[in-house]
Amino acid sequence: MATAIEPMPRDRLSDRRRRRGRELLQGWGFAAPAIVLLAVFLVLPFILAIYSSFTDQRLVPNPNLPTKWVGLRNYRRLFENESFLSGLVFNGIFVLVVVPLQTAFALGLAVLVNQKLKFRNAFRTIYFAPVAVTMVVVAVMWTSFFNPSAGLVNSVLDTVSFGFLTPERFGFLNWALDRHGARAAIIILSIWQGVGFQMVIYLAGLQSIPDSLYEAARIDGANPWQQFRHVTIPQLRNTTIFVVLSTTILAFALFDQVEIMTQGGPQDATQTMILRLITFGFRQGQVGMGSALGVFYFVLVVVVAFTQRRLLKEERAVA
């Protein structure tokens, strides 16, 4: 015969509620400084940016020209601006080229340095070293490498091709002076500088794969390629999703190397959204236009983050 559950005494229940209330209050107390900082330096500026995107706000106020509400005019002008459209196109090209190549190279390097090789720690340090150097320094260094007449890149190409690969024959080898060459130079630099970071993430993912899976695959007669294809790749699915999505977000934030190497040229070939945002907001003083671009960029990031969330949910549902 089932026995009735005795209700908890009222004094014990009230003690538990008070204890939970204190714990909740302590939690909010610890979180309060971070919440205040986020609100002041992130949430509030973004709300002001949304408001400014619907006005003709200027960087330097003019008493004779008060700020007016202009509605969607800034957004219309944004998509009529050829420099912004060029930046959007180059950002798209950059994402489509850099994300898959950098992901593939990072995975290959991670698999390589995860092997029981001699001096593998030295290799890990070498591959990760560019990440530890700031992009400004890297961009200045590679600008000299891509010098058309005396740079290291063209000198190596000229030597290995026995004088065939020269700027006179191939215009893109003028690099920063050529539309296609400038884009290629920024893409090459970005892959070289960023691949070490993704390599470390993949390396952590590889080391979390149980050895028993590889042992079972070897017992079933799988060769190394089959083990990589049917064990490594599926086990790295969440890692790959994180790498691809985070690299995509960073690719849309492309700025430093462009500002130093090409300043968006030649002929707006290497314009980016962030470069246009800074140009609108600070160099031209059009805060309203810069805010509109910033809101558009935020929407892109939110879409990418939402995609990442959905993909990770699907993986958890399958598991």
Q: Measure Cα distances from 292 to 76, 219, 232, 234, 260 in Å.
A: 10, 59, 43, 41, 25
SS3 286: strand
How is residue 141 written in tokens?
Answer: 């260094």
pLDDT tens digits, one per residue of 134-175: 888 999 999 999 988 888 999 999 899 888 888 888 888 888
- The answer to whether the CB of 150 falls within 8 A of the CB of 235 is no
Q: Which fold, 81-318?
A: MetI-like fold (1.10.3720)
Output the tens digit of pLDDT for each of the chain's 319 residues.
455 555 556 666 677 777 888 888 888 888 899 999 999 998 898 899 999 999 988 888 777 778 889 889 999 999 899 989 998 899 989 999 999 999 999 999 999 888 877 777 888 888 888 888 888 899 999 999 998 888 899 999 989 988 888 888 888 888 888 989 999 999 999 999 999 999 999 999 999 999 899 899 898 888 889 999 989 999 998 898 889 888 888 888 899 999 999 998 888 899 999 999 999 988 998 999 999 999 998 898 788 778 767 776 655 544 4
Measured between alpha carbons, how far is 280 from 68 in angstroms, rounded to an integer? 18
- The answer to whether the CB of 188 falls within 8 A of the CB of 268 is no
Tally of CB atoms within 10 A around 270: 28
Measured between alpha carbons, how far is 49 from 39 in angstroms, rounded to an integer? 14
Measured between alpha carbons, how far is 226 from 229 in angstroms, rounded to an integer? 5
Measured between alpha carbons, how far is 94 from 194 in angstroms, rounded to an integer? 13
Domain ranges in the chain?
Answer: 81-318
